[in-house]
Amino acid sequence: MTQTFTLRRDVAAQHVDVAPGGEIVLRGKLVCSTDASVIDAATTTWPAGAPGGASVDSGGLVDLEQGGFHMTSRDPATHEVHAIATGDPAPACALAGVEAPCLPLRLLPLARSRLQTAQELGSCLRGGITVEVPDAVLPPVAPAAVPYVQGAAVLLGASVLASIGWVVQRRRARSPRGRLLDLAKRTRAKLRAADAVVAAPLVPAVEAALGALKRRRVDAASTEGKRVAEVLRRVELRLDASAVEARADREQQAADELVREIESALEAVDEVDGARRGRA
């Protein structure tokens, strides 16, 4: 029997009773009443009137990876997200004191990107997200179907081997070194899209840090590795804030241009009216 429940927003993380390999489906969305942005489990959609125009960000309300899930598909139009439980360590669950796997909320990073507090963001959200946990039911196999089942078993064996490789890769990615490398690569990617004035002094330092991590000059699990991670997070937060400021600057420039055009049009109207009165 399929289990369905509403994702809670009054807790940091919510446990989901699903075994490794089991699937969950998250449906629904939240709409912020102040900026009309739409947030579902895995994406944030900005309307055309937002600073910078319409866009879709690959970050939603739930941090699936940190909760022990791997997203298999998402649809920003229907707001439906499918994910499977990996059985890997779930740091966010441990941090929240919740049994893994779980669904940790991303209210704080979402709020920071808007230069708000988590409470301010939470107060503007309307709507809800439901979580569906389908039960896996295996029908009985008819004797005539046995040869086909055997063939499917061969394919299943191949897929199991591929899955094992994927799990090993995922575990490496979720290790302290994998997380630190991912943070460094993510920061480098944001630097490439950042303003040149902001990025210029930071690029060499981040590239050097990434090179040192790849050559294993720093142990990610050590105190020094944690220092590197902390400074990279500070760089990432600064870049996120700069992106928000740049978006606001573009909005102000667009508004200034519109105001100048309208004021020029009003002056032209005044000149025409004055000329008409003069002839009268």
The string of pLDDT tens digits covering residues 133-190 is 987 554 555 566 656 656 766 777 676 666 656 665 666 566 888 888 888 888 888 8
Residue range 2-24: mean pLDDT, rounded: 93
Domain membership of residue 71 (yes or no) is yes
Does 25 share its domain with 106? yes
Task: Assess contact for 102 and 90: CB atoms under 8 A.
Answer: yes
Q: Which pTM value belongs to this model?
A: 0.49
Residue 144 lies in a domain: no
Of the three residues 83, 110, 135, the one that is the final residue of a domain is 135
Of the candidate ranges 5-9, 34-38, 186-190, 194-198, the one whose mean pLDDT is the lowest: 194-198
Residue where a domain terminates, one of 135, 165, 200: 135
Q: Are residues 21 and 124 in the same domain?
A: yes
**What residues contact 6, with CB distance under 8 A and at least 6 apart?**
128, 129, 130, 131
d(CA 79, CA 95): 28
Full residue range of the structural domain in which residue 129 is found:
3-135
Cα distance between residue 15 and residue 168, in whole Å = 24
173 lies in a domain?
no
**Cα–Cα distance measured from residue 31 to residue 126, given in angstroms and rounded to the nearest whole number:** 5
Considering the domain architecture, whether residues 91 and 23 belong to the same structural domain is answered as yes
Residues 17 and 91 reside in one and the same domain:
yes
Residues 9, 117 within the same domain: yes
Q: Is residue 110 part of a domain?
A: yes
127 & 30 share domain: yes
Q: Do 17 and 117 lie in a common domain?
A: yes
Q: What's the pLDDT band for 69 if we cut at 50, 70, 90?
A: very high
- Tell me the per-residue pLDDT of 16-40, one tens digit each, with 9 for 90 and over: 999 999 999 999 999 999 888 999 9
pLDDT exceeds cutoff 70 at 280? no
d(CA 187, CA 180) in angstroms, rounded, equals 11
Last residue of a domain, one of 73, 107, 135: 135
pLDDT tier, 192 (very low <50, low <70, confident <90, very high otherwise): confident
Number of domains in the chain: 2
Q: CA 67 to CA 86: how far, in whole Å?
A: 9
Token pair 């970050």 in the structure block, residue:
59
Question: Is there a domain that residue 51 lies in?
Answer: yes
- Residue 23 located in a structural domain: yes
> How deeply is 30 buried, as exposed, middle or buried, from its count of CB atoms within 10 A (0-12, 13-18, 19+)?
buried
Tell whether 158 is covered by a domain. no
Is 160 contained in some domain?
Answer: no
Radius of gyration of the chain (CA): 26
Are 210 and 184 a contacting pair, CB within 8 Å?
A: yes
Q: At 270, is the pLDDT very low, low, confident or very high (cuts 50, 70, 90)?
A: confident
Q: Is residue 122 domain-shared with residue 29, that is, in the same domain?
A: yes
Residue 191 shares a structural domain with residue 103: no
